[in-house]
Amino acid sequence: MAAKGKLIKPHGSDELNPLFVYDSAKNEALQKEAAGLASIVVSSATAANAVMLGGGYFNPLTGYMNKADALSVAKTMKTTSGLFWPVPILNLVKDAGSIKAGDRIALKDPNVDGNPVLAVMEVKAVEEFSDEDMAMMSENVYRPNHKEAHPGVDAFNAQGKVCLSGPIQVLNFSYFQEEFPDTFRTAVEIRNEIAERGWKKVVAFQTRNPMHLAHEELCHMAMDRLGCDGLVIHMLLGKLKKGDIPAPVRDAAIRKMVELYFPKNSAMVTGYGFDMLYAGPREGVLHAIFRQNMGATHFIVGRDHAGVGDHYGPFDAQIIFDKEVPKGALLIEIFKADHTAYSKKLNKVMMMCEAPDHTKEDFVLLSGTKVREMLGKGIAPPKEFSRPEVAEILIKYYQSLEK
C-alpha cells in the first residue's frame, strides 16, 4: 500500500521509466537518424506496445521481449530474470528481411497516414517462434474455449512468427495525442496529476464502453468502501471490435456524467493508447500492472473483465489474482465487483451478489442489443439504467448512423 504523502511505487522499479524521448533535441536527432535506417511498418499491436512503453505504462520493460522471455511469460507469468509479467510484449513480423542482431531500425506506424516513425529500435535478436510456440502462447495467454473464434488469438497469430527483440526509444504517441488531446494521458502525466491533486488512495476504473448508471454507482461504491479520495476513469482509446462505440462519443458521455454526478476534484477522465487484447484474466492482470504504474492504489475488476464471447467464466479475471498472482508481486489492490444493476425493491443500484433475496425480475436489466435498439429509435433507456444526459449523447450518435 502507498505510504501517506507518497505515491505507490511503479511495478518492478523505484521510479517510472517511460521510453518516450522527452528531450526535444534528442528526439529531433533520432528522427533524423531514423530517416537513414532500415525500417519496417509494424503491426497495430506492436505500435500499441510502443505507445504503452513510451508512456511508462509497461514499466520496467525497456523494449520488446525476446523469444525466451515471451515463452517464459506465457508459461509462468515471469520473465527469465524473474520479473512478474502476464502477457508477452512483442514485435512480431512475417519476415525480417535483412534485419539482423546489432542493427538499429526505425519502427513505422501502421495507424497513421504516411507511416511516420514511431520509435527507433536496437535489435538484440531476430528469432522465430515455431507453430507449437505460437499455439502454446495463444493457449496460455488467451485461454480460448475452442468452441468459437477468439479475436485476440486471431490478431496475435496474424502478425507473423518472427520476433524482433530489444530496447526502443519512442518518438511520438501515434494518433492518440492528436485525436484525443483532452483524454489521452501517459502514466507519467496521470501520476503527476494525482500528486498535484493531493490524492493518497486512488481507484482506477477500466472502460471501453460509455458508463451507465450501474458503472457510475460502482465507482462511487468502490470509492466509499475503500476510502479513496480520487477516481481515475481510464478509457481504452485503441482498436476495438466492430460495433463498439467510438472513443469521442464515449468520452463525451463519460465527461458529462462526471461533471454532473461526481463531486469536484474527485474524478479524472483519461485514456490510454492500446488495442484491446480480449485476453480475459491475463489482460486483467496487465490492466492492474499499468494502473499501478500510473499511480492508482486500487483497481476495479468486474464481471467478465476484458472478456469476449463465452471464452471465460464471469469471475475468472478476479480468480486469477487469488490463485495465480504470487503474493507481493503487485502493490496495487483489487476491488472485486459483481454485476451491478438497479434494484426495484430497494430503489438503488446494488451488486447482485449483495442482494440474495432478489430474483432477476427485481432488477432493471437491459441487454446491450436492446439498449442500442432504443437509442437508435431516439428512446432514452429508463432513468434507473442510464442518466438522461448520457442517453441524449448516445441517442445523437446512434441516430447519426441511421442517416
Residues marked as catalytic: 208-209
Q: Which residue has the cell 489521452?
A: 184
Q: Pairing relation of β-strands 267-272 and 298-301?
A: unpaired
Contact of 324 with 77, CB cutoff 8 Å: yes
Q: Which residue has the cell 488469438?
A: 153
Instruction: Find all residues with CB under 8 Å of 118, minimum gap 6, and list them.
Output: 42, 47, 50, 51, 107, 108, 109, 170, 171, 172, 174
Report the amino acid identity of residue 124: K
Which is nearest to 388 in space by CA: 245, 246, 220, 261?
A: 261
Q: Which residue has the cell 517462434?
A: 129
Within 10 angstroms of residue 379's Cβ, the number of other Cβ atoms is 12
Q: Pairing relation of β-strands 230-236 and 38-41?
A: unpaired
Backbone phi, then psi, for 169, in 5-degree steps? -120, 120
Q: What are the beta bridge partners of residue 38?
A: 105
Radius of gyration of the chain (CA): 21
DSSP letter, residue 100: -
Q: How far apart are CA 17 and CA 10, in angstroms?
A: 9
Q: How far apart are CA 234 and CA 359, in angstroms?
A: 32
209: left (phi over 0), alpha (psi -120 to 50) or beta: beta
SS3 198: coil
Q: How far apart are CA 129 and CA 103, in angstroms?
A: 20
383 to each of 207, 213, 363, 366, 392, how far by Cα in Å?
Answer: 21, 8, 13, 12, 12
DSSP letter, residue 86: S
Q: How far apart are CA 236 and CA 251, in angstroms?
A: 10
